[in-house]
Amino acid sequence: MKTLLPFLLLVAGHLAAQPTWCNPLDINYQYNFEQLNDNISYRSGADPVIIHHKGEYYLFATISGGYWHSSDLLHWRYIRPLRWPFEDNCAPAAWSIGDTLLLFQSAVDPRPILYSTKPETGELHFYNRWLPRLPDGVIGPWDPALFHDTRSGRWFMYFGSSNLYPVYGIELDPAKRLAYKGKAKELIYLHPAEHGWERFGPNHTDTIKPFVEGAWMTEHGGKYYLQYGAPGTEYNVYANGTYVAEDPMGPFTYAPYNPVSYKPGGFVVGAGHGNTFQDKHGNFWNTGTPWVAVNWNFERRIAMFPAGFDADGQMFSHTRFGDFPQYLPDGKWSSPEDLFTGWMLLSYRKPAMASSTRDTFNASRVTDENPRSYWVAGSARPGEWLQVDLQRNCTLRALQINYTDYQSGVFASDSSVYTQFRLWHSTDGLHWDTLANQWNSRRDRPNAYLELPRPVKARFVRFEHRYVGARHLAISDIRVFGNAGGPLPGTPADFRVQRQSDGRNATVRWAPVLGAVGYNIRWGIAPDKLYQCWQVWADAGNTVDIRALNLGQTYFFAIEAFNENGVSALSEVLEGRE
């Protein structure tokens, strides 16, 4: 121990020096006009593709009027192209090769592939004038993905978004500016009768035929992982799965450990339809589309989770505490779990009060960890405020301020759209000091994440409003992270798992833990592969139905409790057979 302790202290000190980030991504989500005829607009982002290009990163998303550029995956600069040769991008495809970045939008009619050797400037050019219609009357390519196989030099496109048609693949001809080569091949259909996670609806409880969409291809270890989103973006269970093959066009085999990226519980819910990329250090990430659904069902945000492939070639995405602060790696990680800061949620269900309230949209909604409920101020004038009582002095490390669009009307994201506010802290509710200051900012930060430069002791946190571009001031959640300084929760006792007669489902039960804020139910196809995680709040009860299992597959389950001080030891691992 004398030899190990200095090493552990060195590692802890190094991590503490790293910057942190938190889902959903803190970018200026652009106002979306899909509901123009209903006089509704709202900030939204969906179907993300992050490309590592020449040591930097580019983020493309649906109907955003442009894209984002970053040197570090933390600070993102919005770029509006100098010339946008079509109406806008929807579920775009992008790829980096050499000094060139390629970009292609979803299409059902002929559309061009664009390219840029200077994407940081917004400069785009035609790589080809258009791809013609697909052969044999195949519809698309909607939700496209480009893939260059470095092993063979061949090019491919994968596409599809439907509950009738599959995900297709087709080879592209580099000698003809990536024109279609041959015919599109059917590759993936959904099988919800066998794969529980492919069932539609909240918690997979609807009988509507599910949707397959959002293809992406990753080659790793000589195998080809064709990823897809299912069962639909409208609910908490939107996820990514994969089929695996020895060749980019198959034949593909369903991965028994699916889904590979899944986040049905917590503040950020939904992880489907994104892409997998490697950062400059070689770490894998999987992006996805969390669900907001305040103004309509397709109002969404963007999330990013550490991902990878284990020693057996199993693909995974790490969503445990996936909406709590995480360290941004400055090198190759040994485990994505090392990125979790340990800063716990201090604000859940804590008392809140406000300067004013419109109708019944009261202040208690800003601590319920639900982006679909929100406080609306009586006015949007400067000086409106929200105050949260943490009920004890805690060590504060970071906060997240989440805005909502309430009756915003129709307008564009322009220079008038930004957010200004400041945060205060107090130990007694009487004497206040500045906690964070965005009073003169001209950035639009609908999901502003603010890491404090140093820990602060406080019981009360106050948000003071100055400006928002929307018609009303509305906040869904003020999330406060840090530590309360008390004991860790105990490990849940009497943990039980019962696979139901329908093997796609399992019922999980446990004894409540005194003082727990919530629990993480973890499962996977082996005791050391508990990659899946469902976060549940302690006040929601101590029984959960997991409806995301594959028929014919044995699973292993465990549970842990968490509170404002940290996380318990993991329970015993139980086997769940059909």
Banded model confidence at residue 37, pLDDT cuts 50, 70, 90: low
Q: Which residues pair with 371 in a beta bridge?
A: none
The answer to whether residue 220 sits within a structural domain is yes
Q: Per DSSP, which regions of 530-569 are E strands? A: 532-537, 543-546, 555-562
Using only C-alpha atoms, the chain has a radius of gyration, in whole angstroms, of: 24
Residues 459 and 509 in one domain: no
Give tens-digit pLDDT for 440-460: 999 999 999 999 999 999 999
The answer to whether residue 17 sits within a structural domain is no
Residue whose C-alpha is closest to residue 112's, from 123, 121, 102, 120: 102
Residue whose C-alpha is closest to residue 436's, from 412, 406, 456, 418: 456
The answer to whether residue 3 sits within a structural domain is no
The answer to whether residue 333 sits within a structural domain is no
Identify the domain boundary among 437, 461, 483. Answer: 483
Distance between CA atoms of 543 and 390, rounded to whole angstroms? 28
Q: Is the pLDDT of residue 84 over 90?
A: no
Q: Is the pLDDT of residue 87 over 90?
A: no
Proportion of the chain above pLDDT 90, given as a percent = 88
Proportion of the chain above pLDDT 70, given as a percent = 96
Residues 462 and 552 in one domain: no
Give tens-digit pLDDT for 123-166: 999 999 888 889 888 999 999 999 999 999 999 999 999 999 99
pLDDT of residue 184: 97
The answer to whether residue 208 sits within a structural domain is yes
Residues 296 and 402 in one domain: no
The model scores a pTM over 0.75: yes
Residues 421 and 564 in one domain: no
Distance between CA atoms of 180 and 171, rounded to whole angstroms? 6
pLDDT of residue 531: 98
* Average pLDDT along the chain: 94
Pairing of strands 77-79, 67-70: antiparallel
Domain count within the chain: 3
pLDDT of residue 15: 52
Identify the domain boundary among 262, 293, 323. Answer: 323
The answer to whether residue 457 sits within a structural domain is yes
Distance between CA atoms of 184 and 159, rounded to whole angstroms? 10
Give tens-digit pLDDT for 159-206: 999 999 999 999 999 999 999 999 999 999 999 999 999 999 999 999
Give the domain CATH number at 30: 2.115.10.20
Residues 380 and 292 in one domain: no
Residues 429 and 386 in one domain: yes
Give tens-digit pLDDT for 271-300: 999 999 999 999 999 999 999 999 988 999
Which residues form the domain of 318?
A: 23-323
Which amino acid is present at 76? W
What are the φ/ψ torsions at residue 94 (nearest 5 degrees)? Answer: -150, 155
Residues 552 and 475 in one domain: no
What are the φ/ψ torsions at residue 447 (nearest 5 degrees)? Answer: -130, 65
The answer to whether residue 331 sits within a structural domain is no
Distance between CA atoms of 534 and 544, rounded to whole angstroms? 9
Token look-up 């976060």 returns: 535
Residues 565 and 534 in one domain: yes
Q: Is the pLDDT of residue 519 over 60?
A: yes
Residue whose C-alpha is closest to residue 493's, from 576, 563, 561, 565: 561
pLDDT of residue 9: 43
Question: Which of 4-8, 54-58, 88-92, 499-503 is least confident?
Answer: 4-8
Banded model confidence at residue 16, pLDDT cuts 50, 70, 90: low
pLDDT of residue 282: 97
- Between 298 and 10, where is the model more confident? 298
Identify the domain boundary among 483, 512, 540. Answer: 483
- Between 534 and 6, where is the model more confident? 534
Give the domain CATH number at 557: 2.60.40.10
pLDDT of residue 52: 98
Residues 420 and 450 in one domain: yes
- Between 426 and 88, where is the model more confident? 426
CB 95 within 8 A of CB 218: no
- The helix (H) or strand (E) run that includes residue 13 is helix 4-17
Residues 545 and 566 in one domain: yes
Residue whose C-alpha is closest to residue 330's, from 9, 8, 19: 19
Q: Is the pLDDT of residue 2 over 50?
A: no
pLDDT of residue 273: 97
Q: Is the pLDDT of residue 49 over 80?
A: yes
Look at residue 10 and give its three-state secondary structure: helix
Q: Is the pLDDT of residue 86 over 80?
A: no
Give the domain CATH number at 414: 2.60.120.260
Q: What distances in angstroms separate CA 535 from CA 102, 170, 322, 468, 573, one per listed residue?
A: 38, 39, 10, 32, 17
Task: Find all residues with CB under 8 Å of 368, minimum gap 6, and list them.
Answer: 348, 349, 477
Residues 464 and 510 in one domain: no
Residues 273 and 400 in one domain: no
The answer to whether residue 516 sits within a structural domain is yes
What are the φ/ψ torsions at residue 67 (nearest 5 degrees)? Answer: -155, 180
pLDDT of residue 40: 81
Banded model confidence at residue 6, pLDDT cuts 50, 70, 90: very low
CB 60 within 8 A of CB 49: yes
Give tens-digit pLDDT for 337-367: 999 999 999 999 999 999 999 999 999 999 9
